[in-house]
Structure 1
Amino acid sequence: MINLLFLCIAGFIASFVDSIAGGGGLISVPAFMLFGLPPHIALGTNKFSATTASLTSSLKFIKSGKANLNLLKYIIPFTFIGAVLGVKAVLLIDQSFLTPLVMALVLLVGVYSLFSKNLGINNEYKGTTLKLIIIGIVFGFTIGFYDGFFGPGTGSFLLFGFVKIFKFDFVSANGNTKVLNFTSNIASLITFALEGKINYYYGIIVAIFMILGAILGTKAAISNGSKLIKPIFITMSLAVAVKMLININ
């Protein structure tokens, strides 16, 4: 019972952090494994719980007007398709070669954001144009494929992309990130469900705490803006890189 309580607390903290800047899986996945679930079941159960929290966070950002649906409506279908193809590809291709490359990219994103003082502070998005739609489709498909194929750092890449490429501030970028991350998560969740890799009993219990964490985290992100999101984003990006370095060794 005490172990389940700690698991629920870990889920709450993970979704709180994830709704602000991503990287919550660094907390929740190890927690499920420490709880005693086998690796594949831990990943599938975490995906189930985290996806419910991601949906909650996405809806709250949309309701607050911090997700640009006029742009996202073009990107979402391609993100889903990319994620499905990524899941299928991972069954055929060895993904181990990606770890050093992704670790370097996530580290670069974190360090660049750390030293770019004005990055993501102001919203300089110029509106939905054909050029941005095409860029968004390519961006969404690529990140969706990556999330289905490998995964670590997806939130960091999405958030950084919306800030750097589309010129959103961190709050709006985070709203768009959550919607696309939820889209790619669904593809992975369906796969885990079809493979029978989800423990629904623990998944539902932890999901309740994750939904609560997502609600409070999203509220904190919207209320405190880029000044809160940016430092947590940098911290979680660097944490993802460190975690991947540890896994290599």
Structure 2
Amino acid sequence: MSSVADLALQVLLLLFIAAFIAGFIDSIAGGGGMITIPAMLLAGIPPLETLGTNKLQSLFGSGSATVAYAGAGHVDVRRQLPMAALAAGGAVFGAAVATVIPPGALRAALPCLLVGIALYFALKPNIGDLDRHRRLSEAAFAFTIVPLIGFYDGLFGPGTGSFFMLAFVSLAGFGVLKATANTKLLNFGSNIGGFAFFLAYGVVLWKVGITMGIGQFLGAQLGSRFAMKKGARIIKPLLIVTSLGLAVRLMADPSQPIRVWLGW
């Protein structure tokens, strides 16, 4: 086997491991894209192909977690399908916008986004497992917050599950476990929307996506079961450390657009 083939196999193995970890984390607290997208970028995959392939592999993780949570009775799939469709529609629009944004802008934005998400998790108030008072009606939530987060998922992706979960908690009044379970179905919907657009645009790498998808599926199965037993509190510090670490790693790349612009 040639050295190039060896390197390709090693890269696929590392991406599989990254996807497994991402699937575990994402199924509990969201934020799996903070691992998979930087991992693919670091592997040398162009930004647009990274976004498209990320949608393929994310389908495995969000679908796997949805099945696990629904099987345990934590999410009513039939009732939430309209919201999942709205998330998919928002993601299609976001993916369309992503195709006209210069690749350098995507690479430059990602470290800033990772730092912002880390700060958000570090500063957010503690949330519990009990349902609380709803601040936004179900219809208003469905037609504003859901497609907006879906749009973000199609445009960038990292942290989408976390944003859905926290929106459910802070605006819909869901407890953290119920919010996480419902998030997985909506995230599955937004992944379908984004994937459909990127597939039509021809920027999905099937070998990478399916390899990572298997890792996502296995990680999500393990993570969702862990969440149903222990809750999501242990994942918070892991999300903060991971997102900051990845941001630093991306900024360490000499070709990072921000470093080029600043002359570092």
Fold match (TM-score > 0.5): yes
3-state SS of 1:67 partner: coil
Aligned residue in 1 for 2:169: 163
> How many Å separate the matches in 2 of 1:237 and 1:162?
22
> How many Å separate the matches in 2 of 1:28 and 1:160?
21
> How many Å separate the matches in 2 of 1:195 and 1:89?
12
Query: TM-score scaled by structure 2?
Result: 0.75
Q: By how many angstroms is 1:161 displaced? A: 0.9
What is the 5 A alignment of 1:23-102?
23-69=31-77, 72-91=80-99, 99=109
> How many Å separate the matches in 2 of 1:206 and 1:25?
12
Q: By how many angstroms is 1:35 displaced? A: 3.7
Say if 2:146 is the partner of 1:133.
Answer: no
Long gaps (5+) in structure 2: 1-8, 260-264
Aligned residue in 1 for 2:122: 111
Aligned residue in 1 for 2:187: 181
Aligned residue in 2 for 1:19: 27
Q: By how many angstroms is 1:231 displaced? A: 4.3
Instruction: Indicate the RMSD between aligned Cα atoms, in angstroms.
Output: 3.4
The amino acid that maps onto 1:225 is G
Residues 75 and 238 from structure 1, CA distance in 2 versus in 1: closer, same or farther, beyond 3 angstroms? farther
> How many Å separate the matches in 2 of 1:204 and 1:70?
27
Q: By how many angstroms is 1:179 displaced? A: 1.1
Maintained 8 Å contact 1:103/1:244: no
Q: By how many angstroms is 1:110 displaced? A: 1.6
Maintained 8 Å contact 2:114/2:244: no
> How many Å separate the matches in 2 of 1:89 and 1:31?
23
Residues 240 and 180 from structure 1, CA distance in 2 versus in 1: closer, same or farther, beyond 3 angstroms? farther
Aligned residue in 2 for 1:7: 15
Long gaps (5+) in structure 1: none
> How many Å separate the matches in 2 of 1:107 and 1:27?
13
Q: By how many angstroms is 1:204 displaced? A: 1.9
The amino acid that maps onto 1:25 is G
> How many Å separate the matches in 2 of 1:164 and 1:146?
19
The amino acid that maps onto 2:25 is V
* Greater mean alpha carbon deviation, residues 232-241 or residues 29-38: 232-241
Q: By how many angstroms is 1:86 displaced? A: 2.2
Residues 237 and 66 from structure 1, CA distance in 2 versus in 1: closer, same or farther, beyond 3 angstroms? farther
> How many Å separate the matches in 2 of 1:245 and 1:149?
21
Residues 172 and 244 from structure 1, CA distance in 2 versus in 1: closer, same or farther, beyond 3 angstroms? farther
Aligned residue in 2 for 1:225: 231
Say if 2:172 is the partner of 1:153.
Answer: no
Q: By how many angstroms is 1:203 displaced? A: 2.2
Aligned residue in 2 for 1:206: 212
Maintained 8 Å contact 1:170/1:229: no
Q: By how many angstroms is 1:102 displaced? A: 5.8
Q: By how many angstroms is 1:245 displaced? A: 8.1
What is the number of residues matched between the two proteins?
Answer: 244
> How many Å separate the matches in 1 of 2:221 and 2:181?
13
Q: By how many angstroms is 1:183 displaced? A: 0.8
Residues 13 and 90 from structure 1, CA distance in 2 versus in 1: closer, same or farther, beyond 3 angstroms? closer
> How many Å separate the matches in 2 of 1:178 and 1:190?
18
Query: TM-score scaled by structure 1?
Result: 0.79
> How many Å separate the matches in 2 of 1:219 and 1:18?
12
Say if 2:127 is the partner of 1:120.
Answer: yes
> How many Å separate the matches in 2 of 1:212 and 1:94?
34
